């Protein structure tokens, strides 16, 4: 009974993939070959790790930023020196509270997040470049000063 369920599952996955690719007009479990007891099992691969955006900070500097966010902006994930989604959500809360960030609190440090970061860095950390949403060398240097404070 178990091998039949595995066969149906695999057939369903193949059918979905074929339909998504536009190569299968109709699909059903009837097209699946029976699975023998000696067949190899399909093993799911672990999901890719969430992207981190340290914008030039070292791990130690990024940990400093995470500590700041944990103390003041409800960051409650690990202090690991990797500015991932949860770090950027806390940073977005910080930037929306003071520096004019109006986007979603989604943890994606896109253009609007970087513009708000640049406004904050220009006000207190020596950033003199354009407020353009590009985390280039000037933004990174000022972000380092913020992280080292």
Question: Tell me: the pLDDT tens digits for 19-40?
Answer: 334 444 444 444 444 554 554 4
Among 16-20, 79-83, 127-131, where is mean pLDDT lowest? 16-20
Give the per-residue pLDDT at 30.
45
Give the per-residue pLDDT at 51.
78
Task: Centre a 10 Å sphere on the Cβ of residue 135 and count the other Cβ atoms it contains.
Answer: 19
Among 3-12, 31-40, 134-143, where is mean pLDDT lowest? 3-12
Q: Which two tokens stand for residue 144?
A: 């380092």
Q: Domain boundaries in the chain?
A: 1-44, 59-148
Task: Inform me whether the pLDDT recorded for 126 exceeds 80.
Answer: yes
- State the number of CA atoms in the 13 A half-sphere of 17 facing the CB: 6
pTM of the model: 0.66
Is the backbone of residue 56 left (phi > 0), alpha (psi -120 to 50) or beta? left
């Amino acid at each position: 009974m178990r091998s039949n369920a595995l066969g149906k599952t695999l057939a369903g996955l193949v059918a979905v993939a074929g339909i998504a690719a536009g190569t299968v007009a109709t699909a059903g479990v009837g097209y699946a070959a029976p699975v023998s007891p000696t067949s190899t099992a399909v093993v799911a691969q672990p999901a890719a790790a969430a992207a981190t955006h340290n914008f030039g900070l070292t791990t130690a500097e990024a940990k400093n930023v995470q500590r700041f966010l944990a103390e003041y902006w409800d960051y409650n994930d690990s202090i690991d020196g990797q500015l991932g989604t949860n770090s950027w959500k806390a940073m977005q809360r910080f930037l929306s509270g003071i520096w004019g960030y109006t986007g979603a609190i989604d943890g994606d440090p896109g253009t609007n997040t970087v513009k708000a970061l640049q406004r904050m860095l220009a006000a207190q950390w020596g950033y003199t470049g354009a407020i353009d949403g590009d985390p280039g060398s000037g933004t990174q240097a000022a972000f380092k000063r913020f992280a080292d404070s």
